[in-house]
Each structure stands twice: as C-alpha cells, then as structure tokens.
Amino acid sequence: MRSVSFTVEATAGEARAGTLELARGTVQTPVYMPVGTQGAIRTLSPLHLADTGTQILLANTYHLSQRPGADLVAKHGGLHGFMQVDKPILTDSGGFQVFSLDKEVTEDGVTFQYEVDGKKTFLSPEVSMDIQQKLGADIAMVFDECLAYGTEKHYAEDSVNRTARWEARCKVAHTREDQSLFGIVQGGFWPDLRKQSAEQIQEIGFDGYAIGGLSVGEGHSLMCEVLDMVLPHMQKQSPRYLMGVGRPLDLVEGVARGVDMFDCVIQTRHARSGTLYTSQGRIRVTDKRYRHDMYPIDASCSCYTCRTFTRAYLNHLFRVGEVLGATLCTIHNIAWFHQFMGNMRQSIIDGTFEDYRKWVHEVYPDGSPADPEGKHEKQKRARSNNKRRGGRKRR
C-alpha cells in the first residue's frame, strides 16, 4: 500500500460506513465525488466548493493531457496547485472518455482523434501513468478498456484479458509513492467474465478497486445485476469504487451491495439547467410555478444557496440568463448529495439503513428520467431545426 488506508467502521448487511485516509485528508464513506473534468467544477470556484462539504473530487486525465497538457499542470505543483484545491483528488485514466470514439485498439494501447481539433492521439498504460503522475492526484486509476453496452461476448473475452495485461503494465509504470493506484474490474454483462476480471485484477494487487463498464445505457436493474455478479468476488478490506454512477437510487443500491465511492456529472449538469434535488424529489426551478415562490430549494438543506436565496430569485436568474443561477444551483446539488451520502452513512452506523433505502425508493423511484434537461435540449434543437427549414409553430 502507498498513501491510503481504509477502515470499515460499521456495516448493515453488505453496506459499509468507512474511513479512507489519504495524504491530503480523510474521506468518510460512502462518498460521492463531484467531477471537475477540465480541472474545474463548472461554474464553481474553490471558495464555493468549500461550502458544499466536498471531501474528494475527480479530474480527467484525457482532457487535461490535451489541454493544457500535463507538463504545464506539473509546473503548478500538480492539480492541487493548478486548481487551488486543498482536498484529495482522483484522476481517471482516460479509458472511459475514448471508449465511445472511433478508435483503433491494439495490445500497445488506443489510437484515436481528439474530438476538439481532430489531433491524432495515443493512450497506453505507460502514457496514462506518466500523465497521472505529472497531474499528481492522490488517487490514479489504471488504464483499461471500457466495454460498450451490447458488445459481443467474444470481443469482451479478449478485452478482459487485454485489460488485465494493461493493468499489470500500469502497476510497473506507476512509481510515484505519494499517489495511490486503483485497479478497475471490467467484464461487461457476463458473470463469468466479471468473476474472471475481478480475480485477475486483484491478483495483480492495487490500493483499491473500481467497477467499470456501467452507466453505459444498461439501466438501473441491469446495473444492480452486474454489481451482484462482481462484488462477491471483490475483497472487503479495500475501498470499492463504482465509476460514473450518481442517481440517488443507484447510489443507495450500490451502497447496499458494498460500494464505497461514486462519481457522476449529473449533479452539476442538471444544476446548470435549473434541475435540483430535494428531500421531496427533483424539481426544475425554471418552471413558471416558482416565479413567486419565497421558499428555499429545500428547507432541510444547509447549503449556502438554501440558507440565503429563494426559489423565486433562482427562477429570475435563469429567466434573465444570469450565470449566477447555475452557480447557486450547482452549490446546492453538490451539497445536497454530500448530505444525502452523509445521512446514508449515519443510517448504516445507527442500524436504520433499510429504512433509508426504502425512503430513497419512494422519493426517487426507478424509471424517473436520468437526464431531464437532455430531453428539453432536444426539443429546443428540434424547434430550431424546424425554423431553419421554414416550418411553422403548432398552434
């Protein structure tokens, strides 16, 4: 082990309340990690971040390696100096970002075109480790191949073995002693491949273990099935991280099965469209009904936004196009999810986790849209396209 220590303090079935000790701070689990893809949580300054209760955040290896480049980040003393954040940071390997692009996968690594400018780019275990060590996050992730939903099993079989070889190369290439390295379990949606991958990756040996290849369009029920496939084969003494998952229902069901760490972009993405999470369910503060609403977003939330502003004010900010609206809503969503996870942790300690789990199912049931503003944006684009074609509005 390098600079990480993990202790389980309480359990409720498979659910765990733990403590993760890192060089730059202590993280109480289960924990949600907000995502700062480009080296910043969009619309949020580090001063705002301090008020949200964030314990650890995530940044993206792939994007930062392209712009501004790992060498420039290293000149700032790594991501902590570059971002001016004094909390633990985790960097993903770049594998998830390239899996949906046109690419060529070989034993050496992956060749693809950077989507911003078409620049030919190559990522390999050694390249990813070099970048992440320059970025200097507290936790680095191995380079793996994320399998798309619907991948044929014969390809998945080859991919699982290749990913194991890539991860072994990552361990050899990773030499930074003040940075932990987490392995990633793949295997698609087949129990035998998930078991095989878990055994292969744990045999290599890492400081923690992630479950990859989910949140790729499979839906909540199948996600839970995969967790049931793989978690019994993952050691309990190490932290477990479910990558790219963050809806309330997904979080509580992940925790119920023994997951400790999560990350997702929906909290910040939804906030920028005025979609907010509350103890009564999700609301869209841009709706007309909130124009004269003098209540906070959520009376049970202690974040800066809820302590200070009304729904009517937030509605006004969005109507006039003021970016402060996105900032205040982002503060709320991140803070709300930290409180949500903190309350979940306390329920494990208190022995009331099953009651908490039931409440989540009642307030955030499966089948609710995961990306409500996505539908809204599609409707806007359709109207815009209709106008360009000379179409008329329906009366």
Q: Exposure string (b/e) for 337-366, b if CB count within 10 Å is 16 or more? A: bbbbbbebbebbeeeebeebbebbeebbee
**191 within domain boundaries:** yes
CATH number at residue 48: 3.20.20.105
Tell me, what's the pLDDT at 137?
A: 98
CB 212 within 8 A of CB 184: yes
DSSP H or E run through 110 = strand 110-113
Tell me, what's the pLDDT at 23?
A: 87
Quick one: angle between helices 324-350 and 248-256, nearest 10? 30
Tell me, what's the pLDDT at 3?
A: 64
**234 within domain boundaries:** yes
Whole-angstrom distance, CA of residue 24 vs CA of residue 138? 7
Q: Which of 92, 138, 144, 298 is catalytic?
A: 92
**24 within domain boundaries:** yes
**127 within domain boundaries:** yes
Tell me, what's the pLDDT at 380?
A: 40
**Residues in contact with 127: Cβ distance below 8 Å, sequence separation at least 6, in sequence order:** 109, 143
Domain range for 192 is 4-271
Tell me, what's the pLDDT at 95?
A: 78
Active-site residue, 117 included? no
Tallying the residues shown for the chain, one arrives at 395
- Domain total for the chain? 1
Q: Which of 130, 263, 366, 371 is catalytic?
A: 263
Indicate yes or no: pTM above 0.85: yes
Tell me, what's the pLDDT at 96?
A: 76
Tell me, what's the pLDDT at 101?
A: 78
pLDDT digits (tens, 9 = 90+) for 134-166: 999 999 999 999 988 999 999 999 999 999 999
**361 within domain boundaries:** no
**184 within domain boundaries:** yes
DSSP E strand boundaries for 128-268: 139-141, 180-185, 208-211, 240-242, 261-264
Active-site residue, 263 included? yes
Q: How far is CA 299 from CA 27, 151, 273, 285, 334, in A?
A: 26, 45, 21, 15, 16
**325 within domain boundaries:** no
* Residue closest to 259 by CA, chosen among 286, 280, 230: 230
Tell me, what's the pLDDT at 2?
A: 59
Place of tokens 């942790």: 345
Tell me, what's the pLDDT at 153?
A: 97
Tell me, what's the pLDDT at 119?
A: 83
What average pLDDT values come out for the chain (395 residues) when binned by 10 residues? 83 98 95 96 95 96 95 98 97 80 92 84 95 98 93 96 98 97 97 98 98 94 98 97 97 98 98 98 98 98 98 98 98 98 98 98 81 42 38 32
**385 within domain boundaries:** no
